């Protein structure tokens, strides 16, 4: 059956590419994925799946095998980004200011390919498959909504794939343990006393305090966190003032915190709050630190599922261990309910000029390897339900 699944995936190559290009031309942002969801729904219903709508614009397809057994979930995210595409390709985005710059179009196409394969081998499935076409991965916490709606309550294992610009085309990245970091967003407001730039002693400068705070936050990383515990604090925006000769009343700092450990994350937040408050007092300003985005946990791959996947997938591509990244993924919410494995599929091809990172206006994927994604989804579902783990 393994060889049959791989064969079927290769035969679906044109279908997968066609679907990917269609989704690419009509990108939809988080919770706007109406067209994409409609196409997914129609495809799944034609294949005999039970279809459920979820998380506003999400779709879940349920396929019950010939025998009772476990339930395995396969996830693909669907949303695009507010990026103006700069690629010169026939399937370039036709929606101004929107682009599939992260590869979610490929994820949807690969899972639709797997949907066809699994429907064809339905009688050989010892259990149930849930295909999760998720909205709003890019900042909308679509995965969290799906978990809150209870769709993972009966799931024994969940698998996801992300096309990956750092890996060569066709490479299959599997890593046990931490793979992607947690993510928080923060805002700091510093309130001083405005005045003329020529007489700063008559004012209380919030910009001066803000600059010192940025440096103080970095000392948490360099002097208070174990060097063997990866952690990042990035201040990505400082907004203050409107002209050259006026000291403003307030300054605003925005930024993000990334870690692989909830303990480290909590310590960083506690210290940032303390430093903001106490340093602001020392500089005669008022400082307020707050989190502005709901916490995304780190993505921690299940050790047993990682070993299982390496054994199952070794015949369809080179399996490598990818480096962890401080980027975040809301796939992590699924793993709070069920054992999970997030796999990376390499799509970097220098000969084709496919060299740009995720979220870049020239990001693209090597479509010749997308059939591998469909094979990965299908093989993992079949083998897991077969009881090979």
pLDDT tens profile 145-167: 999 999 999 999 999 999 999 99
Burial 70-106 (b: 16+ CB within 10 A, else e): bbbbbbbbbbbbebebebeeebebeeeebbbbbbbbb
User: What pairs with residue 247 in β-bridges?
Assistant: 195
Question: How many Å apart are CA 267 and CA 120, to the nearest integer?
Answer: 51
The backbone torsions φ and ψ at residue 157, rounded to the nearest 5 degrees and listed phi first, read -160, 145
Residues forming beta bridges with residue 159, ordered by sequence position: 74, 341
Work out the average pLDDT over 292-312: 97
Cα distance between residue 279 and residue 318, in whole Å: 52
Indicate whether 113 pLDDT > 80: yes
Token pair belonging to 364: 């693209």
Max Cα-Cα span within the chain: 82
Q: How many other CB atoms sit within 10 Å of the CB of residue 321?
A: 11
**Rg, C-alpha atoms of the chain:** 24
pLDDT at 388: 72
pLDDT in tens, 211-267: 999 999 999 999 999 999 999 999 999 999 999 999 999 999 999 999 999 999 999
Can you give the three-state secondary structure of 32-86, one letter per residue? CCHHHHHHHHHHHHHCCCEEEEECCCEEEEEEECCCCCEEEEEEEECCCECCCCC
CA 114 to chain centre: 20
* Tokens at 101, concatenated: 């710059």
Q: From residue 189, how far is each of 47, 237, 250, 269, 287 by CA, in Å?
A: 54, 12, 7, 15, 6
Q: Does 173 have pLDDT greater than 90? A: yes
Pair of tokens at residue 30? 């988080």
Could you write out the DSSP letters of every residue in 244-276?
TTEE-SEEEEEEEEEES-HHHHHHHHHHHHHHH
From the annotation, which residues make up the binding site? 102, 104, 138, 162, 359
Q: What is the model's pLDDT at position 364? A: 98
Domains of the chain: 1-180+298-386 (3.40.630.10), 182-295 (3.30.70.360)
pLDDT tens figures, 64-87 = 999 999 999 999 999 999 999 999
Q: Which two tokens stand for residue 159?
A: 């698998």
Classify strands 50-54 and 286-291 as parallel, antiparallel or unpaired: unpaired
At residue 107, the pLDDT reads 98
Residue 359 pLDDT > 80, yes or no?
A: yes
Average pLDDT score over residue span 342-347 = 98
In this predicted model, what pLDDT tens digit does every residue of 264-291 receive, in sequence order? Answer: 999 999 999 999 999 999 999 999 999 9
The confidence band for 34, taking pLDDT boundaries of 50, 70 and 90, is: very high
Integer Cα distance of 50 and 66 in angstroms? 15
pLDDT bracket for residue 20 (50, 70, 90): very high
Is residue 169 classed as helix, strand or coil in its secondary structure?
Answer: coil
Which helix (DSSP H) or strand (DSSP E) does residue 187 occupy? strand 184-191
Q: Which residues contribute to the annotated binding site for Mn(2+)?
A: 102, 104, 138, 162, 359
- The burial of 67, by beta-carbon neighbours within 10 Å (0-12 exposed, 13-18 middle, 19 or more buried), is given as exposed
| Calpha distance 198→200 (Å, rounded) | 6
On average, the pLDDT of the chain sits at 97
223: number of Cβ within 10 Å: 7
- Structure tokens that stand for 241 in this block: 């003032």
DSSP state letters, 312-332: HHTTTS-EE-PPPBS---TTH
Sheet holding 50-54, edge to edge: 50-54, 58-64, 127-134, 70-77, 157-168, 340-348, 172-173, 319-320
Residue 315 pLDDT class (50, 70, 90 cuts): confident
pTM above threshold 0.85: yes
For the chain, percent of residues with pLDDT exceeding 90 = 98
Q: How far apart are CA 220 and CA 215, in angstroms?
A: 9
């Amino acid at each position: 059956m393994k060889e049959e699944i791989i064969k079927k995936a290769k035969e679906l190559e044109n279908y997968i590419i066609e679907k990917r290009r269609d989704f690419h031309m009509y990108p939809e942002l988080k919770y706007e994925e109406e067209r994409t969801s409609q196409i997914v729904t129609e495809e799944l219903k034609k294949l005999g799946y039970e279809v459920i709508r979820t998380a506003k614009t999400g779709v879940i397809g349920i396929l019950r095998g010939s025998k009772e057994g476990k339930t395995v979930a396969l996830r693909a995210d669907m949303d695009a980004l507010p990026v103006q595409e700069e690629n010169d390709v026939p399937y370039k985005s036709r929606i101004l200011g929107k682009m599939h710059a992260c590869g979610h179009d490929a994820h949807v196409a690969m899972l639709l390919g797997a949907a066809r394969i699994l429907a064809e081998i339905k009688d050989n499935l010892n259990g149930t498959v849930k295909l999760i076409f998720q909205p709003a991965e890019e900042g909308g916490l679509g995965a969290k909504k799906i978990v809150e709606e209870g769709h993972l309550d009966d799931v024994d294992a969940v698998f996801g794939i992300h096309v990956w610009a750092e890996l060569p085309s066709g490479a299959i990245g599997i890593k046990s343990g931490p793979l992607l970091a947690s993510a928080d967003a923060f805002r700091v407001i510093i309130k001083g006393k405005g005045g003329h730039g020529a007489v700063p002693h008559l004012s209380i400068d919030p910009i001066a305090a803000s600059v010192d705070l940025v440096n103080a936050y970095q000392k948490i990383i360099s002097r208070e966190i174990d060097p063997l515990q990866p952690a990042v604090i990035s201040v990505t925006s400082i907004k203050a003032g409107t002209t050259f000769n006026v000291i403003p009343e307030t300054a605003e700092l925005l930024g993000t915190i990334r870690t692989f450990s909830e303990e480290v994350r909590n310590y960083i937040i506690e210290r940032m709050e303390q430093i903001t408050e106490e340093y602001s007092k020392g500089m005669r300003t008022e400082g307020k630190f707050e989190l502005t985005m709901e916490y995304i946990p780190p993505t921690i791959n299940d050790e047993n599922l990682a070993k299982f996947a390496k054994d199952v997938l070794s015949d369809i591509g080179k399996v490598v261990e990818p480096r962890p990244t401080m980027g975040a993924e809301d796939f992590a919410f699924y793993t709070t309910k069920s054992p999970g494995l997030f796999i990376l599929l390499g799509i970097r091809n220098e000969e084709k000029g496919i060299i740009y990172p995720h979220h870049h206006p020239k990001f693209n994927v090597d479509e010749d390897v997308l059939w591998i994604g469909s094979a990965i989804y299908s093989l993992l579902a079949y083998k897991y339900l077969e009881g090979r783990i």
